[in-house]
Amino acid sequence: MSECLVAMSVDRESSATATFARERIAFFAVALTTCGILLASAAFAQSDIEVGVLLPLSGPMAAEGRRQLNGLEVMREVINERGGIAGRKLGWVVGDAADPTAAINEASRLIAQQGVRLIIGTYSSSLCVPASDVAARRGIIYWEVSCVDPRFTKRGYSNVYRTEINAAGFGWYTTEFIRTTLASRLGKDPRSLRIAFVSEDSAYGQGSTEAAASRAKAIGFKVVSVDYYNRNAITDFAPIILKLKASKPDVVHAQAYTNDAILFWKQARQLDLNVGALVSAGATGFGSPDFGRNLGRFAEGPFVLDEPGGINMKTLSSEAAAMEELVARRYAARYGGEMIGGAAQLGAAGLWILSEVLRRTDGDLDPDRFRQAVMSLDIPVGGMLNGWGVKFGADGQNANDRVQHYMLQWQDGKLVTVWPEKFAVAPLKRVPLPPWRD
Amino acid sequence: MTELLPQLIASSILLGGIYGLMSMGLTLIFGVMRIVNFAHGEFLMLAMYLAVGLAACGIDPYMGLLIAIPVSLIFGFAVYKCVVSPILDQPHVVQIFTTLGLSIVLQNAALLMWGANFRQLQLPYGDRVILVFGAAITLPQVIAFAAAGMFAAMLFLAIRFTYLGKAIRATAEDRKAATLMGIDTNRICLLTFCVGTACVAVSGVLMAPLYATYPTIGANLALTAFVVVVLGGMGSIGGALLGGMIVGVLDVAGGYAVGTSWKEVLYFIVFITVLLIRPTGLFGIRGAEEFDEAR
């Protein structure tokens, strides 16, 4: 600060000649830069493990991107309250990855200008692949907490990790739920069950739909149709819904982002599409809080594979159960009573696992030491937030069978865990879905 | 298939009406002023938020039109004076970047003010289904369609049979010649922009019960609006309605026949074919398609 004051007092006394004016500008610039550096270094001193956070905070995915950031924030607060990592606080710089191009640019900025050595992100499958390409090429650790594109961990990068299940896991869980539980409730033999797939056409929708469709065929379900659409251009689901009315599936497997999920279900009602059940996977679309909030009582019934909407606490370790309760309470208090949902839970759980890794490296972000610590983690199901366990494969993917997932159902305006039975907090309801016009 | 036919026809026509409605404001601004307003979609989005906001205050959105129209006229006036007027005679690159910039500003302002959440306007009567020859339609769809027809008729008559309409057509055809004939083209442009903005506001309010409102919905719909306008002919109100119908049919019936993922391919094929045969679009005002230096 003293430089600033000196600069100003010198300036007041200086004459107004052109040369002086130039000198004055130069002097100010130097003084301001010095002040800036001092302030910046003060900020660094407060949070000395600095990581980058990359999420869509504007654009069409902003709603869920922000929820994921909220989940990360709550978990960071908890970590820092408990003494941080090896006595150092965890801090971050945030980049807005509204679309794949912005994801690449922001990843480059975080690395080159902010000097981060680890990036957490990125909510969407369309963003995680390009952003992590940038990081991997520069030898920066990429810690993915949300996207499900199976290609993410299949590119031979050694510094790319994902805590969340991949799309193949999504497909496994949704079809397993239908095979073991839903089919019998619908009074169908799995081999005669008719299933139709409807999905938005990004990497997220296609990846999870292809995985589910291929396992559905392997089980013996009758796949009656697979329809894709562009979620940004969809203004009318009549063509798809009319086809479904003609093909009469027992179950519709739908993957959507949120605007299209709302429109699809609204039009399903208007056009009187009656199916036994709707099953979806993921924290967005049918799993977004916006779906229930906007459709009210008409949102009742669809199933969503997601993080738990309430969990049988007896299935968790005592530490995980306490954390589950704390994070949900903090989240609701901090974000105006909103229930913690999938996107936020993924952020919080992913960051908790990261903090476990960093504890083992004493906060060191050296890629080799970090990898060693990641590979040494071995936590059984029920040991972490969301009832997850941890065991990373050599490709950087947390094993799908450790990332326990749950079938939630919209009941009384909330997503509640209904399957697997031992984790469930409520029984299945509205199976088959009652006809709309009753 | 035959039992689905009435529904396919009804859905195509109703969606076409919505496309026509949201394109009318654009065709006026695009056709007459020859400004490619990239912020068109954001105007639409703001109007949808206005409808959602009014509904939250207990005002029925259709009654809310009485508020939305004057508000949009004032908004249009302000945008014209602050943003559009200074770039009216600038090269197209300048106009494109200015309106694109405006669209980004408005989108982010909406994000800051209302957040990124999706808001679906729920009307007590909004989802009540009316069955017509076995086709299920809803009141908001019918109202949007009727409004599209009514606005098209009103604007068509005004442009065709009034002195002001003649001046607008003259300005669209050749702004310099219109000035030489004693037409105050600046005032015509101001008027067109304000009326165009009001049209967008009406369509936004009428679309709010149909689609979830969020900051980027306008950007998603604007591309379709541009296709409709160029297909129908820039500056042509009837063209916007017909263009909307064509895209609506391709969307719904085409989507049903060949798959929804192909619907954009379909209407772009038709779009390109029409432009190859008739560069002015189907009912374009002669001269309106030429981005020349005549101004």
Domain boundaries, chain A: 2-46, 49-163+315-387, 168-311+406-423
Q: Which residues of B touch A294 (CB under 8 A)?
A: 118-120, 122, 212
Residue A390 and residue A384 in contact, taking contact as beta carbons nearer than 8 Å: yes
CB contact under 8 A, A266 and B120: yes
- Is A339 an interface residue toward B (CB < 8 Å)? no
Q: Is the pLDDT of residue A362 over 50?
A: yes
- Is B211 an interface residue toward A (CB < 8 Å)? yes
User: For residue B146, what pLDDT band results from cuts at 50, 70 and 90?
Assistant: very high
User: For residue A241, what pLDDT band results from cuts at 50, 70 and 90?
Assistant: very high
More confident residue, A67 or A6: A67
User: For residue A31, what pLDDT band results from cuts at 50, 70 and 90?
Assistant: low
- C-alpha span between B277 and B271 (Å, rounded): 10
Q: Which residues of A touch B224 (CB under 8 A)?
A: 233, 235
- With a CB cutoff of 8 Å and minimum separation 6, the contacts of B94 are B87
Q: Is the pLDDT of residue A437 over 90?
A: no
Measuring CA to CA, which residue among B179, B180, B132, B102 is closest to residue B5? B132
Average pLDDT, chain A: 88
- C-alpha span between A17 and A8 (Å, rounded): 17
Query: Strand A277-281 relative to strand A414-419: parallel, antiparallel, unpaired?
Result: unpaired
List strand residue ranges (DSSP E) for A135-242, in order. 141-144, 160-162, 194-200, 222-229
Instruction: Look at residue A36 in the predicted model and tell me its pLDDT.
Output: 46
Q: Provide, rounded to the nearest whole percent, the portion of chain A with pLDDT above 90.
A: 74
Query: CA B101, B103, B108: angle at the middle one, nearest 5?
Result: 100
More confident residue, B295 or A424: A424
**Count of other CB atoms within 10 angstroms of residue B19:** 27
Q: Is the pLDDT of residue A203 over 90?
A: no
- What six digits make up the tokens of B113? 């003010």
CB contact under 8 A, B261 and A271: no
* Mean local confidence (pLDDT), A312-335: 92
- Is A258 an interface residue toward B (CB < 8 Å)? yes
- With a CB cutoff of 8 Å and minimum separation 6, the contacts of A45 are none
Instruction: Look at residue A255 in the predicted model and tell me its pLDDT.
Output: 96
Instruction: Look at residue A39 in the predicted model and tell me its pLDDT.
Output: 44
Query: Which phi-psi region, left, alpha or beta, contains residue B133 (left: φ > 0; alpha: ψ -120 to 50)?
Result: left
- Is A63 an interface residue toward B (CB < 8 Å)? yes
CB contact under 8 A, A232 and B220: yes
The sign of the CA dihedral B14, B16, B18, B24 is: negative
Q: Is the pLDDT of residue A298 over 80?
A: yes
**SS3 track for chain B:** CCCCHHHHHHHHHHHHHHHHHHHHHHHHHHHHHCCCCCCHHHHHHHHHHHHHHHHHCCCCHHHHHHHHHHHHHHHHHHHHHHHHHHHCCCCHHHHHHHHHHHHHHHHHHHHHHHCCCCECCCCCCCCCEEEECCEEEEHHHHHHHHHHHHHHHHHHHHHHHCHHHHHHHHHHHCHHHHHHCCCCHHHHHHHHHHHHHHHHHHHHHHHCCCCCECCCHHHHHHHHHHHHHHHHCCCCHHHHHHHHHHHHHHHHHHHHHHCHHHHHHHHHHHHHHHHHHCCCCCCCCCCCCCCCCCC
Q: Is the pLDDT of residue A54 over 70?
A: yes
B 228-257 residues with CB < 8 A to A: 251-253, 255-256
CB contact under 8 A, A66 and B115: yes
- C-alpha span between A296 and A294 (Å, rounded): 6
Our CA-based measurement puts residue B111 at a distance from the nearest CA of chain A, in whole angstroms, of 7
CATH class of A49-163+315-387: alpha beta
- Is A290 an interface residue toward B (CB < 8 Å)? yes
For A144-173, write each residue's pLDDT tens digit: 999 998 889 999 999 999 999 998 899 999
Instruction: Look at residue A310 in the predicted model and tell me its pLDDT.
Output: 84
* Mean local confidence (pLDDT), A41-62: 77
Q: Is the pLDDT of residue A266 over 70?
A: yes
Residue of chain B whose Cα is closest to the Cα of A225: B259
- C-alpha span between A85 and A79 (Å, rounded): 8
- Is B23 an interface residue toward A (CB < 8 Å)? no
Query: CA A257, A118, A284: angle at the middle one, nearest 5?
Result: 10
User: For residue A47, what pLDDT band results from cuts at 50, 70 and 90?
Assistant: low
* Mean local confidence (pLDDT), A294-316: 91
Residue A96 and residue A58 in contact, taking contact as beta carbons nearer than 8 Å: yes
What is the number of helices (H) and of strands (E) in chain A?
Answer: 14, 12
**What ipTM did this prediction achieve?**
0.89
Instruction: Look at residue B278 in the predicted model and tell me its pLDDT.
Output: 87
* Mean local confidence (pLDDT), A43-63: 80
B7-277: which CATH architecture? Orthogonal Bundle (1.10)
| Of B118, B136, B216, Cβ closest to residue A59 | B216
CB contact under 8 A, B261 and A227: yes
- C-alpha span between B281 and B276 (Å, rounded): 9
- Is B42 an interface residue toward A (CB < 8 Å)? no
- Is B4 an interface residue toward A (CB < 8 Å)? yes
**Does the model's pTM come out above 0.90?**
no
Question: Cα–Cα distances in Å, from A16 out to A7, A13, A255?
Answer: 16, 10, 68
Residue B78 and residue B85 in contact, taking contact as beta carbons nearer than 8 Å: no
Q: Which residues of B touch A247 (CB under 8 A)?
A: none
Average pLDDT, chain B: 89
Our CA-based measurement puts residue A310 at a distance from the nearest CA of chain B, in whole angstroms, of 23
Instruction: Look at residue B234 in the predicted model and tell me its pLDDT.
Output: 83
A168-311+406-423: which CATH architecture? 3-Layer(aba) Sandwich (3.40)
User: For residue A438, what pLDDT band results from cuts at 50, 70 and 90?
Assistant: low
